[in-house]
Chain A
Amino acid sequence: MYTQGLDLVPKGAEAQRPKDAEEVRLEEEFQKKIDAEIRIEPDDWMPEGYRRTLIRQISQHAHSEIVGMLPEGNWVTRAPTLRRKAILLAKIQDEAGHGLYLYSACETLGVSREELIEQLLSGKAKYSSIFNYPTLTWADVGIIGWLVDGAAIMNQVPLQRCSYGPYARAMIRICREESFHQRQGYEIVMAMAQGTPEQRRMVQDALNRWWWPVLMMFGPPDKDSWHTAQSMKWKIKRFTNDELRQRFVDAVVPQAERLGLKIPDPHLKWNPERGHYDFGEVPWDEFWRVVRGDGPCNRQRLEQRRRAWEEGRWVREAALTYAEKRRRRREAARAA
């Protein structure tokens, strides 16, 4: 679904070792390639910081896709029609696929799949704060598609031009598939907004609950985002968190108005001078609380992931045993 690029390491925490002349030369050459829009590929020389930043960002992104299946999975058995159920299943399968594309891309940086899974299950790795909120009604499923996936797209479109080749290529695939997610969500919201008064109340309530957490998806404000400048210089990021947040608000407000829904922000107002909507302060205290592990569903999500991993153990073992049996059978046939 998307990467928040959570910058939890404070400035200066990474010790500065003096660089030798060769390293300085390599770094200059590297930056020249980046400036010339030449993509970096897995075996190319890259600064350690670039590698570490990418591993952190891509793995957080992959984990978000995987954990993102959980709030939606909650509604598979309760989708209102067979069509909606089939769509929801396809969407959840896409999220798993996106996680796997991203794990693949991350492994090209020299980290193993086991390490990545272990980091998620142990709680060491972060994933997008948005998946720590519950999906209370069917309207939430619509709002997730429309707004959560909409915010993800806003973030991911520029990542298709990320300087690291495998990540950019994974993003191209993901963006192509994500558009269906957003449209099916808006369709659900539209159906409810045009439905009975009870349905309209449900969908407005869902919008009220999701609005601020969705704006948090773009990450902390630029003034508190430690790695932004370096990531922009390396062209991992193309726009700052605040720029993307503003674009998203500008895009979504007319979509809400079209359905007669009200964005729950008294400060939201078109500013003709800026050519943008002004909006209120995101509740950042809540954001940091959720990121640090105290959101409404953090513990439940991790617990569910761990259980899925444990309960899937026999499947992984059976697959291995089957592969071994097949290999032996083939050898026997060859010997005969």
Chain B
Amino acid sequence: MKGWPLYEVFIRPRNGIAHRHVGSVHAPDPEMALELARDLYCRRGEGASIWVVPASAITASRPEDRDAFFEPLEKEYRHPSHYDIPPDVKNM
């Protein structure tokens, strides 16, 4: 809305869990974004903590670059399953 930029909303459901993206709100400033996010996404005690981030502040990777960006090389040796260890070797 006019003069109400978009904020992305992240909620930590309870302590011990990371914040997770839940959606977005439009608000005139960050404080009001927090209050609106609380009313919108926490009507049933879903939140112990909320972050709001101006959507314009987020830098995102490009979907069309996905393969080149995330898998520059095959590096199977980074995974434990790459190594053949005899089954009688314990605690490995």
A residues in contact (CB < 8 Å) with B: 41, 43-45, 90, 93-94, 97, 100-101, 104-105, 107, 113-114, 117, 169-170, 173, 177, 316, 319-320, 322-323, 326-327
User: A104: which of B4, B24, B39, B44 is its contact (CB, 8 Å)?
Assistant: B24
Chain B contact residues: helix, strand, loop or mixed:
mixed
Does A319 contact B28, Cβ atoms closer than 8 Å?
yes
Chain A contact residues: helix, strand, loop or mixed:
helix
Does A97 contact B43, Cβ atoms closer than 8 Å?
yes
Does A45 contact B23, Cβ atoms closer than 8 Å?
no
How many angstroms from the CA of A104 to the CA of B44 in the assembled complex?
20
User: A100: which of B3, B40, B63 is its contact (CB, 8 Å)?
Assistant: B40
Q: Given A97-B40, A114-B2, A170-B23, are A43 and B29 also a contact pair (CB < 8 Å)? A: no
Q: Given A43-B62, A94-B43, are A104 and B23 also a contact pair (CB < 8 Å)? A: yes
User: B1: which of A90, A94, A170, A316 is its contact (CB, 8 Å)?
Assistant: A316
User: B43: which of A44, A93, A327 is its contact (CB, 8 Å)?
Assistant: A93
Q: Tell me, rounded to whole Å, the shortest Cβ–Cβ distance linking B91 to chain A.
A: 38
By the criterion of a CB under 8 Å from any partner CB, how many residues of chain B are at the interface?
22
Residue of chain B at shortest CB distance from A326: B29
Tell yes or no: B48 within 8 A of A by CB.
no
Q: Given A94-B43, A170-B23, A326-B31, are A114 and B1 also a contact pair (CB < 8 Å)? A: yes
User: A113: which of B22, B26, B28, B64 is its contact (CB, 8 Å)?
Assistant: B26
Which residues of B have CB within 8 Å of A41?
63
Does B29 contact A327, Cβ atoms closer than 8 Å?
yes
User: B6: which of A105, A107, A319 is its contact (CB, 8 Å)?
Assistant: A107
Which residues of A have CB within 8 Å of B4?
316, 319-320
Does B43 contact A323, Cβ atoms closer than 8 Å?
no
Question: Apart from A100-B40, A101-B40, what 15 extra A-B contacts exist at CB < 8 Å?
Answer: A41-B63, A90-B43, A93-B43, A94-B43, A113-B1, A113-B26, A117-B1, A173-B22, A177-B44, A316-B4, A319-B28, A320-B4, A323-B28, A326-B31, A327-B29
Tell yes or no: B18 within 8 A of A by CB.
no
Does A44 contact B32, Cβ atoms closer than 8 Å?
no
Does B23 contact A101, Cβ atoms closer than 8 Å?
yes
Does B64 contact A45, Cβ atoms closer than 8 Å?
yes
